[in-house]
Amino acid sequence: MIIIKPHPNHTLYIGALIRMTSEQRLLKAFELSEMTRDLFLQGLRKRFPEKNEEEIKVIYIERIAKCYNRNY
């Protein structure tokens, strides 16, 4: 038997999204994308403390390239 964890805030989140304009949703998507990139870079800096900023950016670009969907 699979027990699904309740998500009480999910309904509130969906309601907030519905109330947003298209422009607000797009701006929120950009904000979340930027935050994700920043967190990824922070993680790389923590994982590779001996690397300088230029080397970190090379690693970042290589890892992002692995995730790129070439079907588009």
What would the pLDDT profile of 42-71 be if each residue is shown by its tens digit? 999 999 999 999 999 999 999 988 887 666
Helix extents (H) in 1-72 = 10-19, 22-47, 53-67
Q: How confident is the model at residue 37 (pLDDT cuts 50, 70, 90)?
A: very high
Q: What is the pLDDT of residue 71?
A: 62
Q: What is the pLDDT of residue 11?
A: 87
What would the pLDDT profile of 5-36 be if each residue is shown by its tens digit? 788 898 898 999 999 999 999 999 999 999 99
All structural domains of the chain with their residue ranges: 30-72
CA-derived radius of gyration, the chain? 18
Give the contacts of 44 (CB within 8 A, at least 6 positions apart).
56, 59, 60, 63
Q: What is the pLDDT of residue 22?
A: 95
